[in-house]
Structure 1
Amino acid sequence: MDIINHLTRTVSPAVVEDGGNPAKKNLLEQFYAIFAARLSDSETFNRFSNENIARDDNAFYDRVWTEGTHRDQISRELANKHGVDATESRGLIAMAAPLAFHEIKSLAGSTPVPIFLSDNLNSYQHHIPAWAATVLPASALVAAPAGAHISDTVSTAPLQHEEDKNGSFMKALLPIIGLIILGALAWALLRGCQENPEPVATPIATTQEETQSDEQLAVAAVEPASLRIATGETNELYACRVSVGDETLQTNVMNALTGVFGDEANKCRADVDDNFAVDMPASAQLATILPIIKNVPNASMIIKGDNITVNAPDKAVLDKLVADLQAAAPAMRVQAEGPLDLQGEIDDSLAAADVAMNNLGENPDPRDVARALSIQVINFQVDKAVIPEVNKAVLDRAAKIINEVPDMKLMIIGHTDSQASDSYNMELSLERAESVKEYLVSQGVDASKLDTKGMGESEPIADNSTEQGRFRNRRIEFLVNNEGIGSDDSAMMDNESFDPDLNPLDNNNDDVLPDGDDATQGTAIDPTN
């Protein structure tokens, strides 16, 4: 998990008003790393772990670093490094600290924040500048792998600035230098006393420690429960998906959806799996939240953790939507979805898929394999079905796993947005699913383990009125081949027997492909009524 990238994408736009200012963004990026290292210290975190930190609590930074000299040094060093006014640097940091705190807590889920940050040290360690050693607890530095540089991306030039003429900074470093010398002497003594010495930095793990580590990894793998919905042009429920950890939460969410959208809630696809959290902070407020989104045509909303992200085609409508939702759910963080960062979305999806596959372990559940593969974004070129090179590493790993797990059969499903005819999108989505299958077979997967399906634009997970929504709807999904697909599961398990019509003999044109229900659409697919 790339913590710094996540914070840069979610927090920085809320802090840097002139969002294109690279100096301020780079300053914040480096602060996030120092901040994460500070929160990885349990003693620091426990001081305010039970507080209800407001997102606009600019004094929170003062409670994280209680030493005024440390706060001054952080803002001064970052200002000098990035060419930002020192006063402005302090203001940016004070605004960012509570927002970053909430984002990190959301990423950690039910895992204690210090444990989560220690487990993900590699994602932010290389952003920490060398001078930060004097403003971080010893535990935050000890966590670094032996021999690793605190930062190889940041110059130590600020150490030479005029503020340090009196040598106070060097004096602050003397205890650390002394500890390093003592550590080297201790290592030499140990090495002289042992016939087969163990590396000092590599303690022998006990069985209990190993068990605790495994449990921590298991907890860290739990994703926040989420709800994604989109409305259509006439305020109907256009798309809906729920991901929760148990049936109790599923029932609560579905009851709220039914109470607002009626029978339309039946189109909502629910994924109930212990990979997701069993609580949703916004679940008790859904009866208030959902009517607000229902009243906005072509809107979308994603509830995940304590965040609500919304979008709509009209900026004025979107601004009002954000304000109304924030008023209805003051404990949640409500934000408008930012511009589509295509490369960032692709990179994040591949990194997340890689982490998910690393966590599969031996003899994984096929559902977990399917979910890990579905995380990646396969960004096909317009009107093409050629797999991008960046996705092949993930598919190569998947090929080995599929071959190693007995009786694993997967359905590869292609989806498109709505920017073409139904029939064209159906054909294109199937071609893309077939392309993925062909690649996996070329890597040694038994073709009988893979089926394909093209769903075209018929199963959106977001609105099709915004660039971000269309991007999310263009996707490849993997399912275990006995799981339901679409609104008619039994009819969608075999390409040759697939009938795309919901009911070929009715009098309405609700079909996936045109048929005799609408004479203007031709009769090539189904019989006339």
Structure 2
Amino acid sequence: MDIISHLTKTVSPAVLGDDHSPAKKNLLEQFYAIFAASLADKDTYGRFENENIARDDQGFYDRVWTDGSNRDRISRELAGAHNVDATASRGLVAMSAPLAYHEIKSLAGTTPVPQFLNDNLASYQHHIPAWASAVIPAGMVAAGPAGERISDTTSMAPLQHEEEKSGSFMKALLPIIGLIILGALAWALLRGCQENPEPVATPVITEQVAEGDGQMAVAADVEPASLRIATGEANTLYACRMNVGDEALQMTIMNAMSTTFGDEANKCRADIDDGFATDMPAAAQLASLLPIIKSVPNASMIIKGDEIVVNASDANVLDKLVADLQAAAPAMMVKAEGPLDLQGEIDNSLVAADAAINKLGENPDPHDVARALSLQVVNFEVDEAVIPDVNKAVLDRAVEIMEQVPDMKLMIIGHTDKTATAEYNMKLSQERAQSMKDYMVSQGADPSKLMTKGMGETDPIADNSTEQGRFRNRRIEFTVYDESALNNDTGISNNAMDAGSNPLDSNTANTATGGVLDPDLNPLDSNNDDLLPDSDDPSRGTALDPQANN
């Protein structure tokens, strides 16, 4: 087999997992060839020849192509050529680079890697697209003898292949037969790529569906994976939320968080759902990004797609933070959060909630219902619990949906910022959650299907030192209430999202179980005992919160 075949068999399954997308497999094959051509350059390889490259070192890709524009072009061109989302393309190449590096080193054995790759240039040269000449060191595509391909054995050095002497008529026919078979396989693969669309986990797919005399575009949209963190005083982690498509990405992020913040990383909560991407372009740079944000007290960072948005209470500190993060992740777009546009946030959130509700369809998943309702910003007046009129249309639709899904139970959770006393905030958040329930009941909702909880200031999603952060923390969240979960250690199933206009987070404390909420809703402990934070529970976990069934 050739180098590309070997990498396809060994690296691609590790990168793609259960995703059997032909498009992504072909994208990786082409990237392996570009990657090999780059390593064939002695100067490029010499930069990290003596490094101990970890197999999960996704920052390694950035060190192979130090020019961010080259990295962008590689992911963009590969994405376009194989009809794969650009964000997914960046994640795939960053994840595959260190794994492919180890496999190539293993195949080279005692032969220097550049020499090995030049000797076997013919085994991958035909996979290199013409545009790649701009991202590969000069002359690498044409330089070097086209040596024989490596063998199918596990030999650690290229195996020289002896040409068989001409012989029988059948031997003469074998190459022709082989070409016919390869042609048939190529045709079958091409047909399979055309007939099998991208899986749901692919970020954006557009399918044309006939409707009457015209056509209607149907988009299967997947939200980019995201991470939101805020720091407190003395380099502490104040809040942490992530939205990811699978547990593999969750673990990648959690490992980076644990390395930087230690045990405080346990504050991170994850919403794991196939509605989010399974890759994050910035994942490879988290080891560099997280220490930077940790060094700035009372700051916040939101990573979503290829964008990083940060904020801090001091303008000079914020400028430096943006510059430092941009230097650590040149391929990302790093910017400071703009001034709070309150009306814009409200309007956009209501549009997003309405669109999400429209997509629910018949017999919707309760978790999707909770997410849709949590998208809305409920802008209560200061010290008030009166629902603004603009939110009532969304709540009316929620009542209709609950009538259609009679088994669905929801919990409404109120949150505040930290501008008043803890006791006052706890009471106000409970009153606001209760007002949401009261309105829905007045519109016909079954009161036994709606629970409420006030969290006060105890469960922030942003910093409390900026206007924008306080706005994010003042929110109403809807979660799925699962009575059966209260009778075991798995807690309440929850997938609710941030009520702000950027739906980047939710509340799932026990992330090891794949999206399960600590029933006491307390992000500061690890028990699954009750529905009250331990600090206000006289029974210390021996009884359920009587307010939970309001």
Is 2:333 aligned against 1:328? no
* Aligned residue runs from structure 1 range 410-489, under 5 A: 410-482=410-482, 483=492, 489=518
Is 2:319 aligned against 1:319? yes
* Aligned residue runs from structure 1 range 44-193, under 5 A: 110-111=203-204, 115=206
Deviation at 1:52, TM superposition (A): 9.5
Q: 1:293 to 1:410 in 2, by over 3 A?
A: same
Which runs of no fewer than 5 residues in structure 2 stay unpaired?
Answer: 1-78, 88-200, 483-491, 494-506, 510-516, 523-529, 542-550
* Aligned residue runs from structure 1 range 365-444, under 5 A: 365-444=365-444
Query: 2:397 & 2:531 partners in 1: Cα distance?
Result: 30
SS of 1:396's equivalent in the other structure is helix
Query: 1:239 & 1:51 partners in 2: Cα distance?
Result: 30
Deviation at 1:284, TM superposition (A): 1.0
Query: 2:264 & 2:480 partners in 1: Cα distance?
Result: 26
Residue 188 of structure 1 is matched in structure 2 by: none
Deviation at 1:500, TM superposition (A): 3.3
Query: 1:267 & 1:347 partners in 2: Cα distance?
Result: 31
Is 2:533 aligned against 1:500? yes
Query: 2:405 & 2:234 partners in 1: Cα distance?
Result: 46
* Aligned residue runs from structure 1 range 233-248, under 5 A: 233-248=233-248
Query: 1:48 & 1:451 partners in 2: Cα distance?
Result: 47
Query: 2:431 & 2:212 partners in 1: Cα distance?
Result: 53
Q: 1:254 to 1:239 in 2, by over 3 A?
A: same
Q: 1:357 to 1:503 in 2, by over 3 A?
A: closer
Query: 2:457 & 2:508 partners in 1: Cα distance?
Result: 12
Residue 357 of structure 2 is matched in structure 1 by: 357
SS of 1:287's equivalent in the other structure is helix
Please list the CA deviations of residues 139-193 of structure 1 after superposition, one character each: whole Å capped at 9, or x if unmatched: xxxxxxxxxxxxxxxxxxxxxxxxxxxxxxxxxxxxxxxxxxxxxxxxxxxxxxx
Query: 1:237 & 1:50 partners in 2: Cα distance?
Result: 35
Q: 1:360 to 1:504 in 2, by over 3 A?
A: closer
Residue 108 of structure 2 is matched in structure 1 by: none
Q: 1:299 to 1:109 in 2, by over 3 A?
A: farther
* Higher RCO by CA contacts (8 Å cutoff, separation 6 or greater): 2
* Counterpart residue identity of residue 111, structure 1: V
TM-score w.r.t. length of structure 2: 0.53
Query: 1:504 & 1:239 partners in 2: Cα distance?
Result: 23
* Counterpart residue identity of residue 385, structure 2: A
Deviation at 1:402, TM superposition (A): 1.0
- Contact in 2 for aligned 1:109/1:223 (Cα 8 Å): no
- Contact in 2 for aligned 1:463/1:470 (Cα 8 Å): yes
- Contact in 2 for aligned 1:231/1:298 (Cα 8 Å): yes
Q: 1:427 to 1:486 in 2, by over 3 A?
A: farther
SS of 1:420's equivalent in the other structure is coil
- Contact in 1 for aligned 2:415/2:459 (Cα 8 Å): yes
Q: Percent identity?
A: 65
Please list the CA deviations of residues 502-529 of structure 1 after superposition, one character each: whole Å capped at 9, or x if unmatched: 49799xxx99xxxxxxxxxxxxxxxxxx
Deviation at 1:48, TM superposition (A): 13
Q: 1:301 to 1:480 in 2, by over 3 A?
A: same
Residue 24 of structure 2 is matched in structure 1 by: none
Residue 223 of structure 2 is matched in structure 1 by: 223
Query: 1:420 & 1:380 partners in 2: Cα distance?
Result: 15
- State the number of aligned residues: 314
Deviation at 1:234, TM superposition (A): 1.4
Deviation at 1:233, TM superposition (A): 1.5
* Counterpart residue identity of residue 294, structure 2: K
Is 2:250 aligned against 1:250? yes
Deviation at 1:498, TM superposition (A): 4.8
Query: 1:298 & 1:109 partners in 2: Cα distance?
Result: 35
Deviation at 1:255, TM superposition (A): 0.8
Q: 1:499 to 1:245 in 2, by over 3 A?
A: closer
- Contact in 2 for aligned 1:459/1:486 (Cα 8 Å): no
Query: 2:481 & 2:85 partners in 1: Cα distance?
Result: 47
Residue 3 of structure 1 is matched in structure 2 by: none
Deviation at 1:403, TM superposition (A): 1.4
Deviation at 1:110, TM superposition (A): 2.6
SS of 1:234's equivalent in the other structure is helix
Q: 1:51 to 1:428 in 2, by over 3 A?
A: closer
TM-score w.r.t. length of structure 1: 0.55
Deviation at 1:492, TM superposition (A): 5.4
* Counterpart residue identity of residue 378, structure 1: V
SS of 1:432's equivalent in the other structure is helix
